[in-house]
Amino acid sequence: MALTGRFILLALAGIFPLILFPTGQTALWWCLFLAVLLAADIGLAGSPRKVGLERRIPSSVRLTEECTAELLLTNHGTRQLKAVLRDGWQPSAGAVNPVQRITIPAGERRLLAVRLRPERRGDLLAHHVAVRSLGPLGLAARQLSVPAPARLRVLPPFHAKRHLPSKLRKLRELDGKAAVQIRGAGTEFDSLRDYVRGDDVRSIDWRATARRQAVVVRTWRPERDRRVVIVLDTSRTAAARIDNEPRLDTGIEASLLLAALAERGGDRVDFVAFDRRARATVRSASKGNLLNQLVNAMATVEPELIEADWSQIPAQVHNISSHRSLVVLLTSLDSGSAEESLLPMLAQLTAKHVVVVASVRDPLLDALRAERGTATDVFRAAAAERALLDRAAITQQIKQLGAEVVDADPHQLPPQLADTYIRLKAAGRL
């Protein structure tokens, strides 16, 4: 049950009879009057129990985009339903108009559109719809929270998409498909074509030239169908925020850009999110759009507050591909957590695969170390320097083990990782 403002006004109006006849009896009569009206209004209100609910939710939406969740309400009762509804989305679903008024005649159906502007990646839930059914006089209402579970999957935003065209152009240049002055890099023979000025004379195919009147050059293209395994660390270090974005989200952006690029480059991309066990996996063998599968798998990945078990990674990678692959580890290079388990495992991995360790660098540390105004600032600068030195030492160790390191600010990490991929591909190291 719920009261309305109109009922309060009516109750307030009781002061006029009280001024005219200031006795307890007047008050009693007015109370009785109010009680009768209240009972009648509640009795005549449409039953919220007889509302049929049906939801139509978009299958998924990208973070930062808006969508509409539709709610179909059917009045199964015999009375008109005049109600205020509240769609019970959790706050981070960002419902713009969760509370709406609606009137449904008996036996009819109406549509309620709730605009959602999600503020967080992952599965966002709604558990119920609160129905406050007003009586014909609008004095009081029957209220009920009708269970109506719903789930909206919010996909990672993939802001790094804007880097994709430029990186793809670079990749095409490698491929020899774009008009460039140099011959296509790579080792795999692609085709013969007429010599154009500027081509490397070393690539002239003399045998083919002899058969024809014109000079013919060979073109190569980079290897295709190589394997790229992206391992995303979801352990406790992924929860740390850099530039107000969890490390995990930056890792997701970088993985998506790399995956999109590698797929266009003709390589096979596998993805695994891992801490002590695989939290999400996408296999290149499966059918369907890779990017779609990736964003769906990544949507629900959250940092787990446990330490990562790197010793299992070689086995995981072997499970995915027994061939030589490019293994990209998206993790953190903090001293302590990395030294203990990451480094011993890397030696195993680099023996068989090409390994790239990508990590987000905290721009705040660079800001802290330059700040030297007071004693506190200087101590803070010293601590930041220590963190950076430790990081540099670990980077050095990783490089000595034969792995590549990409260490960049959050918004720089995805393009730099893509650049590393292109460089490795160009060098034929995949």
Nearer to another protein, 32 or 382 (CB): 382
- Select from 58-66, 80-88, 322-330, 421-429 the region that touches another protein (CB under 8 A): 80-88
Contact with another protein (CB under 8 A) among 278, 347, 387, 426: 387
83 is a site residue for another protein (CB under 8 A): no
Contact with another protein (CB under 8 A) among 169, 277, 386, 429: 386
Contact with another protein (CB under 8 A) among 101, 115, 127, 177: 127
- Select from 209-217, 240-248, 323-331, 350-358 the region that touches another protein (CB under 8 A): 240-248
- For residue 231, list its beta bridge partners: 272, 329
User: Pick from 78, 128, 73: which is nearest to 103 by CA?
Assistant: 73
C-alpha gyration radius of the chain: 32
36 is a site residue for another protein (CB under 8 A): no
N-to-C CA span, the chain: 69
Task: Give residues 163-182 in contact with another protein (rule: CB under 8 A).
Answer: none
Task: Give residues 135-154 in contact with another protein (rule: CB under 8 A).
Answer: 142-148
- 3-state DSSP assignment of residue 286: coil
What is residue 49's DSSP assignment? G
14 is a site residue for another protein (CB under 8 A): yes
266 is a site residue for another protein (CB under 8 A): no
Contact with another protein (CB under 8 A) among 45, 51, 228, 259: 51
Q: Compute the least distance from the CB of residue 361 to another protein, in Å.
A: 10
Contact with another protein (CB under 8 A) among 176, 184, 303, 414: 303
Contact with another protein (CB under 8 A) among 15, 35, 111, 306: 15
List the 67-75 sheet strands across, edge first: 51-56, 67-75, 109-116
- Taking every pair of Cα atoms in the chain, the longest distance, rounded to a whole number of angstroms, is 123
- Select from 71-79, 227-235, 258-266, 283-291 the region that touches another protein (CB under 8 A): 71-79
Contact with another protein (CB under 8 A) among 61, 82, 88, 226: 88
Q: Please name the residues in contact with 87: beta carbons below 8 A apart, sequence gap of 6 or more.
A: 69, 71, 95, 98, 112, 114, 126, 129
Q: Give the helix ranges, DSSP H, for 265-312.
A: 290-299
Q: Compute the least distance from the CB of residue 291 to another protein, in Å.
A: 25
Task: Give residues 199-238 in contact with another protein (rule: CB under 8 A).
Answer: none
299 is a site residue for another protein (CB under 8 A): no
Total residues at the site for another protein (CB under 8 A)?
A: 85
Nearest-angstrom CA–CA distance, 91 and 68: 15
Nearest-angstrom CA–CA distance, 2 and 139: 9
Q: How far is CA 33 from CA 36, 79, 94, 361, in A?
A: 5, 24, 43, 72
Nearer to another protein, 58 or 147 (CB): 147
- Select from 187-195, 265-273, 347-355, 384-392 the region that touches another protein (CB under 8 A): 384-392
Nearest-angstrom CA–CA distance, 298 and 275: 14
Which uninterrupted H or E stretch holds 302?
Answer: none
**Residue in the block written with tokens 């719920």:** 2
Contact with another protein (CB under 8 A) among 167, 226, 369, 425: 369
Q: Compute the least distance from the CB of residue 307 to another protein, in Å.
A: 15
Site map (CB under 8 A) of another protein, residues 332-351, x = contact: --x-----------------
388 is a site residue for another protein (CB under 8 A): yes
117 is a site residue for another protein (CB under 8 A): no
Nearest-angstrom CA–CA distance, 189 and 269: 23
54 is a site residue for another protein (CB under 8 A): yes
Q: Compute the least distance from the CB of residue 68 to another protein, in Å.
A: 17
Nearer to another protein, 16 or 189 (CB): 16
**Residue in the block written with tokens 């989200």:** 249
Nearest-angstrom CA–CA distance, 329 and 251: 9
Nearest-angstrom CA–CA distance, 227 and 306: 29
Is residue 291 classed exposed, middle or buried when 0-12, 13-18 and 19+ CB atoms within 10 A define those classes? middle
Structure-block tokens of residue 135:
């009586």
3 is a site residue for another protein (CB under 8 A): yes
- Select from 72-80, 210-218, 263-271, 345-353 the region that touches another protein (CB under 8 A): 72-80
39 is a site residue for another protein (CB under 8 A): no
246 is a site residue for another protein (CB under 8 A): yes
Cβ-defined contacts of 289-295 (< 8 Å, 24+)? 290/259, 290/263, 291/256, 291/259, 291/260, 291/263, 294/255, 294/256, 294/259, 295/60, 295/62, 295/155, 295/156, 295/158, 295/256
305 is a site residue for another protein (CB under 8 A): yes
Q: Decide if 228 contacts 244 (C-beta within 8 A).
A: no
